Structure formats: structure tokens, C-alpha cells
Structure 1
Amino acid sequence: MEENFWKIEEVENTDVKNTYNKFLNKLKTILQFFTSLCVFLAVLFIIKGFLGQTIFETYNPEWFPFYLMVIYQSFTCVMTISFPVIGTDLFIFTIFLLTSLQFRLLNEEMQDIFGGTEENNLEQAIIRRRIKRCVRHHIFLKEYVNLLNETFSEVLFIYNGDIVLSLCVEMYIVSTQNSFQAAVKAAVYVFTGMFQYTVCYCIAAQAITDEADKINNSVYFGKWYEHPDEYVRTATKLMIANGQRPVAITALGFMKINLETCLKTTQTILSYCMFLRTMGISQ
């Protein structure tokens, strides 16, 4: 499957290549920021053990030092919870954005084929070869998005429910907690969770849909219908027909992961948080 993806190094246009390299650099910056945020949040949760501020009291055997036990528990927590969660988020985020980048490369290629001046028109054989390559890549990308949906569908659905419950509880803690330390920890958790859900999932998934929707415009407004070669016109119509089917990342086939879903999820979190706060005040 790897050979089906277009490489940025193969792009001939220098301006386009520089734009995509900047895009990849921004991607790396976001990954580093999110990783740092998660590490900081993990430290806030772990440090309470070293300060002796534990919620529950446990039996501490004399032969096993307390701080050594805290280190062991913290190490286990980081290795079994923090690292897998961070790795999964970054993995999905990277895959979604790189998939959207493939659609952008396809858009640029279609615009370049028909977007030249009369003096820069390409030879018929070159146009045929490039159109054929674009049609194959378009079909591959549609199938690849379907593969992503089949792979992450259940995970995204469970994650969406988990983020609603966890952020709702943490926002309630922020609004009702008298302890400054607990409020700060909950606030950092809420910010990290919203950043994770919005950027790593919703914005990245929305980018795939946006770039895929541009395919028809990139193809149609290239005046393909004026091209004398019947093969080129037929292949282009095939791309337009294939592009009529919407491309979206979904959870269980019915819940689209995009910015609209992000807004609705945020509204749900706030509504449940206000409900819990109202119930707490009334009691």
C-alpha cells in the first residue's frame, strides 16, 4: 500500500513543495506541543503521590519504602496509560492530516494539468499518463478513507462518549472545587482534553473532508470538456462521478467526526456540567 501514496519529494513545483514542507513542520510543532501538554498533565497527577496527598489510605509494608512504591506506581501508570493514549492520539492525528495532504497533492496535480497557458500546454501523451495516474490515486484515496473508517470506527465512538463524561466531571470539579491545586489540575485536564479532541480528531478529520470536496472543483473548472482527447474527457468524468460520493471520517457509520460534531460535543459537555452543578447546589 505504501507505494500508492504520493511523495512530496516527487513534486516538481518548488513553491508547492515549500508549502507542504511548512505544513509538515507545523504538524511536528503541534505534535511536540501536545506531547508536552500531556507530560505536564501526567506530572500533575503523579506529584500528589510524592507529596503524600493521596485520596485513599493503603497499607504500606515496612520492608517496601513508601516513595519507592510511588515511583513504581507512577512508572506503571505512565507506561500503561499515558504513553498508549498519547501514542494513539498522535498516530490517528498524523494519519488523518497526511491523508488530507494526499488529497491536496491530487488537487494541485489536477490544476497543474489543465491550468497552464496556451504556450505551456502539455503533450497529449503526458496529459493521458497524468490523468490516468490521478484517477487511480483518487480511487485509492477513497478506498483508503473507507479503510480508516473500518479500522477506527468503534474506537472513535467509544472515545467520543469517554471525552464527554470525563470532561464533564473535570469541568464540574473546576467550577466547584475550593482547593486551588485540584482546580488547576482539573483545568489543565479540560484544556488538554479539548485540545486533543478538537485538534487531533475533529480538525484533522475535517481536513480530509474539505480537501476531498475540492476535487470536483479542481477537475471541473480545468475546462476538461474543451479538451480534444476523448480519453481525457472520459477519465475526467470518471473522477467527477467518483467525487460525488462524500468523504468523511465516521464513528459506527453514522456519527461524522468533524467541526460540527466538535461543537455539538462541547455543548453537550457544558449542558451536563451545568446540570451536575445545579443538582449539587440544590442539595
Structure 2
Amino acid sequence: MLDDRKSNTFAYFQVLLYLICLYVQRPKVQLLIEYMKQHFWDPATYSVPELKISYKETMKRLRAKYYGYIVIMLVCASAFCYGRIALDGRHVPENMTFKSYIPPGVNFWALFAWQHIQATGTINILTSMDFCICSIVSLTTLQFRLLRYEVETLFDGFENDQNGSNEFKNKFRKCNGHHNFLLSFTTMVVNTFSMLMFIYMGVIVIILCIETYLLFCM
């Protein structure tokens, strides 16, 4: 029972970290999304086949990651919630979703269904936070590819006159401004999520160490 309490405590602590980032740091997350809407270049406006292919591949990978993540999460959640009761079949606390105490007079299935609220909330929080970070990083990477293309073609298509010089200056200014924006944007992303990831990985390492120790002590 003590091991179950430790596992549940670490699981709740992990979800708490995500809640802190989602709700306590929500102004920063919302600001990141607003910056993406306002300042990110639209890949659909480019007629270059390589950029269109890169954009489609990025979105395809994001979609594949999302579906794969959902499948893995659902399989793990189903095994965690229903695996013990399916194999054992007894209406005992050890077969509850979180192996919790069943008070006298409380129906097993009623409490089992009630704990699905916590389990569903946990899955939704983990999924939303993970894919928020994954989407921001992937789309920012695509912006650097667009910027690279603009810099590589900086001297293409300009006439050797005053108008061409002005167009070059405008394009150079545009690339320089977008580069500075991406640098500040990535810094903001790091400042928003780095501490969360550090603590999150620390919790995972602690859980692995404790579980390994308990495994070898059995």
C-alpha cells in the first residue's frame, strides 16, 4: 500500500506541474500563441515546391505524432484502469483505478466510475501540454527554414537601379526583423517551459530510481 501511495503521489505531482504551467503561466503561453498568429510567416504564400513540401511534411509529422501519442496514451490508460480488474475480477481496493480505499457501503463500480474523472483529466492535461510544446517547437523550426530560404535568395530578382536597391533593403530589413523575432521568441519559449521540463524530468528520474530500488528489494 505504501508503494501505491508513492506512485499516486508522484503521478499527482506530475499533473500538478502541468497545471501550474497551463494556468499559472497561461499569460505567457497565450502570448506565444498570439505572437505565432501575428508574426509567423505563412508557408502557404510561397510558391517554391521545396518549401511547400517541407510545410506539408511538418504538418504530416505533427499529425502522425499526435495520433501516435493518443494511441499510446489510450493503450497505457486502458491497461492502467482496466488491466487489474480484467485479470483479477475481484472487487477490492487493489483493482481500483488508483488502488484507493473503498469506504463501507460504497459500491465498487460507482467509485470505479468516479475515479475516471480524475483519470480523464490527467490524460487531457498531459496530452494538451505535451502537444502545445511539440507544436510550438515544430512550427518555429519551419519558420527558420523559411527565413533560410529568404536569406539564400536575398540577392535574386533585383534590378541594378534605385528601385532594386530599395527592394533589397526592404527584404533585408524584413529578414533581419524576422530573425530577431525568432531569437526572442525561442528565448521566450525556453523561459516558459524549461523549468517545467527540468522538474518533470527530475520527477521521472526519482520515480525510476524508487521503482528500481523496490523491484530489487522484492
TM-score by length of 2: 0.69
Match of 1:77 among 86, 102, 119: 119
Aligned residue number for residue 32 of structure 2: none
Figure out how many residues of one structure are paired with residues of the other and give that number: 171
| Aligned amino acid, residue 110 of structure 2 | L
Aligned residue number for residue 102 of structure 2: 59
| Cα distance between partner residues in 2 of 1:145 and 1:152 | 11
Task: After TM superposition, give the deviation of residue 25 of structure 1 in Å.
Answer: 0.8
Task: After TM superposition, give the deviation of residue 57 of structure 1 in Å.
Answer: 6.9
Deviation string 1:20-78 (CA, Å, 9 cap, x unpaired) is: 1122111110111011101111111101256446435733443x421121011122222
TM-score by length of 1: 0.54
Aligned residue number for residue 271 of structure 1: none
Give yes or no for the alignment of 1:158 onto 2:194. Answer: no
Give yes or no for the alignment of 1:25 onto 2:60. Answer: yes
Aligned residue number for residue 148 of structure 1: 189
Match of 1:103 among 144, 152, 173: 144
1:113 match: secondary structure:
coil
Give yes or no for the alignment of 1:34 onto 2:69. Answer: yes
| Cα distance between partner residues in 1 of 2:100 and 2:187 | 49
Aligned residue number for residue 15 of structure 1: 50
| Aligned amino acid, residue 44 of structure 1 | A
With over 3 angstroms needed to count, the CA separation of the structure-2 counterparts of 1:169 and 1:41, relative to structure 1, is farther
Task: After TM superposition, give the deviation of residue 161 of structure 1 in Å.
Answer: 0.3
1:12 match: secondary structure:
coil
Q: Tell me if the contact between 1:9 and 1:17 (Cα under 8 Å) persists in the aligned partners.
A: yes
| Cα distance between partner residues in 2 of 1:99 and 1:4 | 11
| Aligned amino acid, residue 135 of structure 1 | N
Q: Which structure's relative contact order is higher, taking Cα pairs within 8 Å and 6+ residues apart?
A: 2
Alignment of 1:238-253 (within 5 A): none
Aligned residue number for residue 92 of structure 1: 133
Deviation string 1:228-266 (CA, Å, 9 cap, x unpaired) is: xxxxxxxxxxxxxxxxxxxxxxxxxxxxxxxxxxxxxxx
Deviation string 1:162-210 (CA, Å, 9 cap, x unpaired) is: 121234455x3xxxxxxxxxxxxxxxxxxxxxxxxxxxxxxxxxxxxxx
Q: How many percent of aligned residue pairs carry the same amino acid?
A: 23
| Cα distance between partner residues in 2 of 1:33 and 1:82 | 14
2:102 match: secondary structure:
coil
Q: Tell me if the contact between 1:49 and 1:70 (Cα under 8 Å) persists in the aligned partners.
A: no
**Structure 2 stretches of 5 or more lacking a match?**
1-34
Aligned residue number for residue 15 of structure 2: none
